[in-house]
Amino acid sequence: MGRGWTFTDEEADIILGSPAGQHVQQMFRFAAVGTPAQVSEHIDAFARYADADELIVAPQSPTTEARLRSVALLADTVTHTFSGSNAPRL
């Protein structure tokens, strides 16, 4: 649902107010979007919040090429940001 569709603000509010819409909003609570430095900072904060030593990422780019680019950028910034045994594994 939604692919290629446009919604009015009222329709979007109704959809986001539904149980499924609430679930989607909850998933975006921990979305890391931005520059590599911003994403790295968000991931570091989330790993501390969750007390995680391992994270799963799910890139949402529209094409395979864009998803691979996102993963490469993430890997580069995480490699430079984290070191030692406390680094989350991706």
The pLDDT of residue 63 is 93
pLDDT at 88 over 80: no
Tokens 């931005």, residue? 34
Q: How many residues does the chain have?
A: 90
Domain count, the chain: 1
Q: Is 90 part of a structural domain of the chain?
A: no
Tokens 């969750």, residue? 50
Q: Is 60 part of a structural domain of the chain?
A: yes
The pLDDT of residue 77 is 81
Q: Is 16 part of a structural domain of the chain?
A: yes
Q: pTM (2 decimals)? A: 0.56
Per-residue pLDDT tens digits for 9-65: 999 899 999 999 998 888 777 888 888 889 888 888 888 988 988 888 888 888 999
pLDDT at 66 over 60: yes
For residue 38 the two structure tokens come to 């911003």
Expressed as residue numbers, the domain containing 55 is 9-81
Question: Who's near 80: CB < 8 A, 6+ residues apart?
Answer: 40
For residue 66 the two structure tokens come to 């864009």
